Amino acid sequence: MKIMVINPNSSLEMTNHIRRVLEQIKNEDTELYVTCPEGGPLAIENAYDEAMCQPGVLALVARANREKYDAVLLACFSDPGLEAARVISDIPVLGIGEISMHVAAMMGERFTVLTMTSKRVAAKEAEVWHFKLRDSAAPVRPLGMSVAEIEADEQRARRQILRVAEEAAREDGAEVIVLGCAGMAGYAEGIREKLGLEVIDPTSVALKVTEALVKAGVRHSKAGLYARPQNTGCTV
């Protein structure tokens, strides 16, 4: 199977990091193409960044359809452009945020999302509501680090994740921790052992779910929400 993995920001460093992590865990028969739009924001850290990256994301989704990929995976926890991409796509388009939160809700009584900074907490809480998972979610907790800082200092990021996750477990009753950024791909394993709780790496988990859905032949319904618009010039 062929899967296009889109890092919606334009950071080649993060794109290459995602590629390295996913190449290690993909199925033998999976061909991955990990890419990012040209000219978009270097990081997705606010609503403006999310909006600015979407034209590039949608162009890549259209390309994946033309080139007969089996699925597209958006490797950003905010899932920017996800629903619009599903409208123009005849192949499954999945987002790491949506997938990881649903998986987390199945793996424990309460999960918490660790986001970058306090400015992103409200947006992540809104995403929890959007996916109808509020009853399963503990409060979102910020790490106090930007995406660039996480890329630049992995060891500091790991220390922050461990500290904040311990607080979420102790104070909020969180049983599952969701690492709320694709830049933390590959971090879960070492932290899981130290923490003694389940830790979800959204990018890795979402790839395995995407592979499973492709093998099962499951696609988005085009009967309603994701029906292709008529007479708008929409093409893939």
Number of domains in the chain: 2
d(CA 158, CA 21): 16
- Dump pLDDT digits (tens) for 74-103: 999 999 999 999 999 999 999 999 999 999
Please indicate, yes or no, whether residues 104 and 196 belong to a single structural domain of this protein: yes
In a domain, 85, yes or no: yes
Amino acid letter for position 171: E
Q: Tell me the percentage of the chain whose pLDDT exceeds 70.
A: 97
- Dump pLDDT digits (tens) for 1-21: 999 999 999 999 999 999 999
Q: Domain range for residue 18?
A: 2-96+205-216
Please indicate, yes or no, whether residues 88 and 111 belong to a single structural domain of this protein: no
Query: What is the pLDDT at residue 12?
Result: 93
Query: What is the pLDDT at residue 208?
Result: 98
DSSP 11: -
| DSSP, residue by residue, 119-162 | GGHHHHHHHHHHTT-GGGBPPPEE-S--HHHHHH-HHHHHHHHH
- Dump pLDDT digits (tens) for 166-189: 999 999 999 999 998 888 888 888
Which one has a higher pLDDT value, 116 or 93?
93
In a domain, 141, yes or no: yes
d(CA 40, CA 81): 13
Q: What CATH number corresponds to the domain at position 42?
A: 3.40.50.12500
With a cut of 70, say whether residue 159 has pLDDT above it.
Answer: yes
Mean pLDDT for 200-209 is 96
Burial class (CB in 10 A: 0-12, 13-18, 19+), 230: exposed
With a cut of 80, say whether residue 230 has pLDDT above it.
Answer: no
